[in-house]
Each structure stands twice: as C-alpha cells, then as structure tokens.
Amino acid sequence: MPTSPAFALGTVPGLVIASLVAALALVLTGYLRQRARARRMQERHALVLASISDHITFVDRDLTVVWTNWTPESGGPPLVGGHCYRVLVDGEEPCPGCPVPTVLATGEPAEGVVTLEDGLVYRVSAAPVCDDRGHLVGVVQTSRDITEKRRLAERLQQAEKMEAVGQLAAGVAHDFNNSLQVILGYTELLASGTVAGTDGAAQLGAIRRAAEQARDVVGQLLTFSRRQESRRQSLDLAALIDDQAAALARVLGDAVSVRWQRPARPVPPVTADPAQVQEVLLNLCLNARDAMPGGGVITLELACEETRPEEAVPAPAPAAGRYVVVSVSDTGEGIPAGLRDRIFEPFLTTKPVDRGTGLGLSAVYGIVTAHEGFITVDSEAGSGSTFRVGWPAAAADAAATAAVGGRRSRAAGRVLLVEDDADVRELAAAALVHDGFTVDTAANGRDALARLVESGCRYDAVVMDVALPGLNGWTVYRQAREVCPELRVIFCSGHGPSQLESEFRMSIPDQEFLQKPYAPQELTGRVRALIGSAPADDGAAG
C-alpha cells in the first residue's frame, strides 16, 4: 500500500529540522535565563532601594513623581503620578528650600533643607537627569531625615551655651566680688570711723580703683556683644602709649619688664576710640603676662604699614590702605598649634574657671573688627608670641581733638535731672550743683513731664535716664517737645545706645547720650557743652 512521504531521521531534511529545534531550544533557554537574571537583578535593585533609609524620587519636568522608593509598602504616602508637595503638605508649589526648581532652571545639582508641617526636617540633594541627546528630562532627588540630628545639635549647642555661661559667670563673679570686697569693706570702715585720724584719701582711692575695675568688666561684656558705642577721634598712638607705658608696668607687676620702642620716624594719627585702644593694649599685655608665669619681657612697637589688596592678612583681612600697627611681643610659652586658630573665640581660656572670663582676646577682636582694622598673631610653642594690631590711619586733613584742661569758671544754668535711682540722682545733682548749676530733680517720667510744663520750658538742659517708671525717657521727650520744641536733653542709660529699643533710636536719633557709669566731671562737661551750644535768644533763665 502506498504511504505518505516521511522524512527518516537519518535523512538530510531530518537532520536540518533537528538542528533548528535544538537551536530554538538553546535560544529560548538563553532568553529565559536572561529574563530570570533580569528579574533577579530587578528584585535586588528593588530590595536595595527599599532598604535605603533615604527617600529617592524621580520627577519629570512638570514635577510629577515618576518613581520613588518611598511607597505605601515602605510606610510612605502614594506619590507616584502626583506632586510630592501636594501630597505631603497640601501645597500649591514646591516647599521652601526644595532644590528641585533650581535644578530644573539651571541644569546643575543643588541642595536644600526642607521642613515639613509636622516638624520633620529633610536635607534634599537634587541632580539633573538627561536623555542620550543631553536634554533634561527630570530630576532625581535624595531626601534624608535629619530631624533627630538637628535636635541633637540644638541640644549640644544649648549645653555648650550653658557651659560657656557658667564659665563666664564664674569669671565675672570672681572679678566683681574682688571689686565689691574693696568697695564694701572700705565704705564700712569709713562709715564706722575705723580710719579716724586720716582724711580717708587712700581708702577712697582704693574704692575708686575697684569701681573702675568693675566698670571695665562690664565694658568687656558690652564690647564682646558688640553693644558698646565707640567715640572715635583722631588719635596719636605714640603719645597714648607714652602715657600708658608706666601705668602698664605697674599693673603687670615687678616680674614683667615693659620695653617701649618708639618709632624712628613719626607715624600718622588713627581714627579710633581712645578708651577702646587702651583696652586692647591692656588686654594684650595682660595676656602676655599670663603667658610668662615666671616673668619676662613685653616689647611694644609702633610702625606705619601700607597694605595692598592682594596681601592676605588673617583675622580679619584688611582693606587696602595705610595702617598704624601696634606690636605686642612676649618671651613667654607661646601658643600651642591646636589653640592658635581658636584664641579669639569667646570664653576660650586655659586659666582656671575662677581666674578669668575668657573674654579678653575676643573683646580685642571685637574692638579691632569694629574699627575696620586687623589683628594677627605669630607664635610657636616655647618661643613667645607677637600680636600685631593694625588701626586705619586717619585722613591727612584730620585734626586731633583738643583736650580741655585747666580749671574752669563756675557754670550757670538751670538743669532738670530725671533719675529713678535715688543714689545716682543725689550723686549727679551734687556734681551739677558743685559746678554751679541750679538743679531740680524728678524721680519718674510723669513728674519730669509735669515740671517741664509747669516751668514754661525754662530749663537750659535736661539730664534724663531712659528707663523710668511710668513714662520712659523717650516718651517724656516726645510729649515735652510738643510744648518745648527747643528742649535739649542728655539721655543716660546703663545700656549702650544700640541696645535701646528701635522705637527710641528712631524717635530721638540725634540727641546726646551719656553711658553709665560716668564720671561727675564727664556729666558736668557734657551739660556745659550742651548749654554752650544753645542759641543766645532761646529765652532760658539762669
């Protein structure tokens, strides 16, 4: 019987078919293996991305989330297909601090810090994603939760602040208690008559020195906080050091020798506050003395230098121009390398906690910076130190402020003294009366305003504290000016002018200000100057 044609296995067509089947099987097997490898790789990538605590998100140019590892399965909200700022904070635009818009605008990586409404804080790093033609197609961002890190940093900062305040309090308490010991002790002796038979001049001198030391501690605190106002004038530094060299030698003690090397040629004057220049000089010399516990030599030098813009001078870098440079060198122990870059930090001190506030060099830095000067230090451990302070030279046409000396004739004029502290009021009134003024006093703002109105504005000058009960000083001044438009006032305060509330400074920006504590002669001199500057036809009575 005839049969259908068939291919025997041993024939050529049969061999071809078998080879094709084998090849297809091999290809299919390879394909399946590649699929399996790709699936396993994708699973690994998903596992890795899911295990990353940072939130990785890819957004397109419209800020729509295309992909993220922060999914509902990982505890996050459903972000894919939406805008993260709408889902997370129900906002209409990206969160403040988000760097993604910056990346889209510039095509450059950017970073930012985003704080959500629930208090969580994220540091966000964003980078552009481009296609194979270099076109920006989106942004990938990585968000790291730094909330706890921020809280820990804030707690650490608070702890450091409290430690610094404690160290400051210990140093200030030590210095103040020494001053108060002298003041209270000698006043008690004088009051009890224990020093009878003497005129008490020595004791009064000790009381005054102790009070000046306490005043200097407050001045350092105000300078450190940048709240101390400068009274700048044209100043001859050579003459100032001439006057201070002997006093410095007495303060520093017998174990320390002070050598003042006058400049070979005259140096120009500087524009500076004489009291603050003296404070810088004293602090640097005291610092040098403390670096020489066994005694030594402090050398003071003065020179004029020209600084060019390209010269890099640290702490801080000065502008180009002429500077008069004061150098203070010692033969002490030098500054260890680990502390050299930190010596101007507030509260940093190597002394015991009861031996200083750690404000000396930071106060120096604050004063020099406020004067647009510079300060450098050259020191090696065991080889001594040299501090160089550059003060900007005054303009060529600047004239030095003439000092008023000699005995003055007795003054004349009527003064209203407004002060709520009874002791301060009595002291100021006594100084003004002794200088020849007629003085009326008021203890609060309402009494002062009433006296001004009742007198018909017949006072030549008003000396008024700022912080008064009832009505404060600026309120009294503002209301009194309505009836006394030519009112001339010297305001007094234990705070510096820059510490007073902005309303005060805006209301009376051009008035005279006297910083407490003031010397009686300074008070009377300021009142004399104020009355002397008044118009002759102002109608003031004596």
Question: Does residue 477 contact residue 489 with C-beta atoms inside 8 Å?
Answer: yes
Sheet strands side by side (includes 461-465): 438-442, 414-418, 461-465, 489-493, 512-515
- Sequential pLDDT tens for the chain (542 residues): 455 555 555 566 777 787 788 888 888 888 888 888 877 777 776 666 666 778 888 999 999 998 888 777 666 778 888 888 888 888 888 888 899 999 999 989 999 888 887 778 889 999 999 988 889 999 999 988 888 888 887 777 667 666 656 666 666 676 777 777 878 877 877 777 665 555 677 778 788 877 877 776 776 666 555 444 556 778 889 888 887 787 777 778 788 888 998 888 888 999 888 878 888 888 888 888 888 888 899 999 999 887 654 443 444 555 667 889 999 999 988 877 656 565 666 544 555 444 444 456 777 887 888 888 888 888 877 788 899 999 988 875 443 333 333 334 455 789 999 998 888 888 888 889 888 899 999 999 999 998 888 888 889 999 999 888 888 888 888 888 888 888 889 988 876 555 554 445 545 555 678 878 887 888 888 898 888 755 444 443 33
Hey, what amino acid is at 515? Q
Could you give the angle at which helices 473-480 and 445-454 cross, rounded to 10 degrees? 20
Q: What is the pLDDT of residue 415?
A: 93
Q: Which residue pairs from 84-93 have beta carbons closer than 8 angstroms and sit at least 24 positions apart in sequence?
A: 84/57, 84/59, 88/116, 89/116, 89/117
Q: What is the pLDDT of residue 318?
A: 59
Q: What is the pLDDT of residue 194?
A: 62
Copy the structure tokens of residue 335.
Answer: 């500054």
DSSP letter assigned to residue 409: P
Decide: pTM greater than 0.85: no
Q: What is the pLDDT of residue 371?
A: 83
